[in-house]
Amino acid sequence: MKKRLGPGRRCFGFFHRSAPLEPLVFVWDILDPNKLVLDETVQTADTAVFYSINSQPGVSGVDLGNFLIKRVVGEVQSEMPNIKNFVTLSPLPKFSFWLNSFLSSKVDLELEKSELDSIRSLGGNHLEWPIALKNVLTARGWISDPQKRSILKPILLKLAKIYLLDVKRPNSIYAYDPVANFHLRNGASIYSLNWLGDTSYNGVRSSYGIMCNYNYILDQIESNNEAYLKRGEIRFSRDVSSLY
């Protein structure tokens, strides 16, 4: 808390009078920690990125996130009218766990022959590309090798798309990934996947460095929320659609 709050940093939250010291849901807005006021560069920005959105476990079934986001959007736009886009930069915390199981099963994924040959060459020329890919990812040294990163990029992005759009929780219509489920329930759409968005140890270990932009399009939040909650429909951009 002390690290996240300070000069140039803000936190918006919903509180209830029954628990005045416990925010029901809150979102962090982190600016340049060395500046107390917004400079000209920030004033001309057109996109705001939510750093983190959290809610209390006791209200996890209540969709307060989209209400808070709307309020925050109003506050930000009143200060910086040029801001038109509101997105997150989010992790895929269970991607590597899922992918390990996925590659251990019968995989049906359309890959180019050149991609398959490249994966096999990286994984010791193993005849089965899923095993070869597991060998490369388990070694983890690929993150510091430009050639390996180049080969793995299209493959892992395709797999990340499958993970976010197609993999569901057991006996459910909702996304398996907990972060995706949170933002989709709040009315966001999936805007893009970011290769090497987080190359920290934890980022590589949990999601192979891939991060996701969830886009909160103001006039689509309610319809996206309803489509996801009622039918499990996930809205996504053309950039995501073109991954394969």
Residues 169 and 218 in one domain: yes
The predicted pLDDT at position 33 comes to 42
The predicted pLDDT at position 43 comes to 65
Label residue 3 by pLDDT band (50, 70, 90): low
- Last-in-domain residue among 56, 88, 120: 88
Question: What total number of domains does the chain contain?
Answer: 2
Residues 99 and 83 in one domain: no
Note down the domain range covering 46: 9-88
Q: Is 90 a catalytic residue?
A: yes
Residues 116 and 55 in one domain: no
CATH of the domain at 17: 3.40.630.180
State the average pLDDT over residues 95-111.
81
The predicted pLDDT at position 135 comes to 86
The predicted pLDDT at position 36 comes to 43
The answer on pLDDT for 217 being more than 80 is yes
Picking from 27, 23, 24, 8, the residue whose alpha carbon sits closest to that of residue 79 is 8
Residues 115 and 20 in one domain: no
Residue at 110 is within a domain: yes
For 105-163, what is each residue's pLDDT tens digit?
766 677 778 888 888 888 766 668 888 888 889 887 899 999 899 989 999 999 999 99
Q: Is 183 a catalytic residue?
A: yes
The predicted pLDDT at position 228 comes to 96
Residues 119 and 82 in one domain: no
The predicted pLDDT at position 97 comes to 94
Residue at 3 is within a domain: no
The answer on pLDDT for 211 being more than 50 is yes
Picking from 175, 184, 148, the residue whose alpha carbon sits closest to that of residue 94 is 175
Residue at 24 is within a domain: yes
Residue at 16 is within a domain: yes
For 39-84, what is each residue's pLDDT tens digit?
566 667 788 887 666 666 655 556 566 677 777 877 888 877 888 8
Residues 60 and 140 in one domain: no
For 177-204, what is each residue's pLDDT tens digit?
999 998 898 889 999 999 999 999 999 9
The predicted pLDDT at position 118 comes to 84
The answer on pLDDT for 98 being more than 90 is yes
Residue at 175 is within a domain: yes
CB distance 48 to 81 below 8 Å: no
State the average pLDDT over residues 6-23.
70
For 55-66, what is each residue's pLDDT tens digit?
666 555 565 666
d(CA 93, CA 177): 7
Phi, psi of 29 (to 5 degrees): -125, 100
Alpha-helical regions (H) of 51-145: 65-79, 95-104, 113-122, 129-139
d(CA 50, CA 89): 7
d(CA 212, CA 91): 6
Residues 133 and 223 in one domain: yes
CATH of the domain at 231: 3.40.630.150
Residues 117 and 182 in one domain: yes
Place of tokens 């915390």: 93
**Residues β-bridged to residue 28:** 11, 52
Q: Which of 55, 90, 206, 207 is catalytic?
A: 90
- Last-in-domain residue among 58, 88, 118: 88
Residues 73 and 155 in one domain: no
Residue at 213 is within a domain: yes
Q: Which of 55, 183, 192, 206 is catalytic?
A: 183
Residues 103 and 155 in one domain: yes
Residue at 2 is within a domain: no
More confident residue, 196 or 103: 196
Residue at 144 is within a domain: yes
d(CA 71, CA 133): 45
Residues 35 and 143 in one domain: no
CB distance 168 to 199 below 8 Å: no
Residues 79 and 194 in one domain: no
More confident residue, 7 or 235: 235
- Last-in-domain residue among 88, 120, 141: 88
State the average pLDDT over residues 204-225.
92
